[in-house]
């Protein structure tokens, strides 16, 4: 792989590899400035080598920023974190639209000049509203969706449109305390640590490949409200990390697992 880059006058900037059983994983980044093959022909040039090794592969060009849609409900902490980091230049992404099932966070979107669209969801209109959401995503040429505490379960049909491109934050250290009210569950169990998990969304609730996790210690003095407060700090940081790795094309999905070249 490195020879492929070298013989075409590419300058390797970063190279990571990992072996897991019978599988070899590689991420290689190189400067295209003096590369002898134009961007439009790189994939065709690489295909014979990929076939030789029977590789599953993709090539991404960082000059094209990922277009990210953020889905939210009423809580703003994860959305605030992402918008602040994107404005500060930490995230090399574009955020052309914010989608919600409530009006509550429209003023925040307005502060950043981002269109905010609302699709109220009920069990009766879910399919119809999801179709409208998909139309908005197509209109804005969205690559990736971030569920920044979007309190709705996406249908399998919706998820199929964005395989390994929907990033969720779960306010729990999965697989523990999945489902609703994880902080209440953790408090009743008397745990000494709580966590947050960011993962890709699949048709199986809260079981998608995990991207990033972290924990914070708590004590017997902490009530449920303390767990929620501390947990929200984790949620915003873990989701931000996950989006950063994703936008940098540092995540390889292998079955139910991820290899993250952080």
* Residues classed as catalytic: 206
| CB 244, CB 88: distance < 8 Å | no
DSSP codes of every residue in the chain? -HHHHHTTT-EEEEEEEEEETTEEEEEEEEE-TT-SS-HHHHHHHHHHHHHHHT-------TTSPEEEEEEE-S--HHHHHHHHHHHTTSS-EEEEEEEESSSTTHHHHHHTT--EEE----TTTHHHHHHHHHHHHHHTT--EEEESS--SPPPHHHHTTSTT-EEEEESS-TTTT-SS-HHHHHHHHT-SEEEEEEEE--SSTT-SPEEEEEEEE--TT--HHHHHHHHHHHHHHHHHHHHHHHHTT-EEEETTEEEE--
- What is the DSSP pairing of strand 11-20 with strand 23-31? antiparallel
DSSP codes of every residue in 130-144? HHHHHHHHHHTT--E
């Amino acid at each position: 792989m490195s020879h492929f880059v070298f013989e075409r006058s590419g300058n390797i900037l970063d190279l990571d590899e990992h072996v897991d059983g019978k599988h070899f994983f590689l991420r290689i980044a190189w400067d295209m400035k003096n590369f002898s093959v134009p961007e439009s022909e790189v994939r065709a040039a690489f295909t014979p080598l990929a076939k030789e090794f029977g590789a599953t592969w993709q090539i991404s060009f960082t000059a094209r920023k990922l277009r990210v849609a953020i889905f939210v409900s009423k809580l703003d902490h994860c959305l605030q974190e992402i918008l602040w980091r994107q404005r500060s230049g930490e995230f090399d992404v574009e955020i052309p639209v914010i989608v919600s099932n409530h009006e509550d966070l429209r003023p925040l979107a307005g502060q950043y000049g981002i269109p905010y669209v609302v699709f109220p969801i009920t069990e009766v209109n879910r399919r119809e509203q999801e179709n409208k959401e998909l139309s908005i995503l197509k209109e804005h040429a969205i690559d990736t969706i971030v569920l920044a505490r979007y309190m709705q379960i996406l249908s399998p049909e919706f998820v199929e449109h964005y395989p390994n491109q929907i990033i969720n934050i779960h306010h729990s250290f999965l697989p523990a305390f999945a489902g609703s009210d994880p902080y209440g569950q953790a408090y009743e169990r008397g745990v000494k640590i709580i966590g947050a998990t960011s993962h890709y969304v699949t048709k199986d609730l809260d079981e998608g490949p995990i991207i990033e996790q972290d924990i914070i210690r708590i004590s017997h003095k902490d009530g449920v409200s303390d767990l929620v407060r501390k947990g929200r700090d984790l949620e915003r940081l873990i989701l931000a990390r996950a989006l950063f790795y994703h936008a940098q094309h540092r995540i390889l999905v292998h079955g139910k697992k991820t290899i993250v070249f952080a």
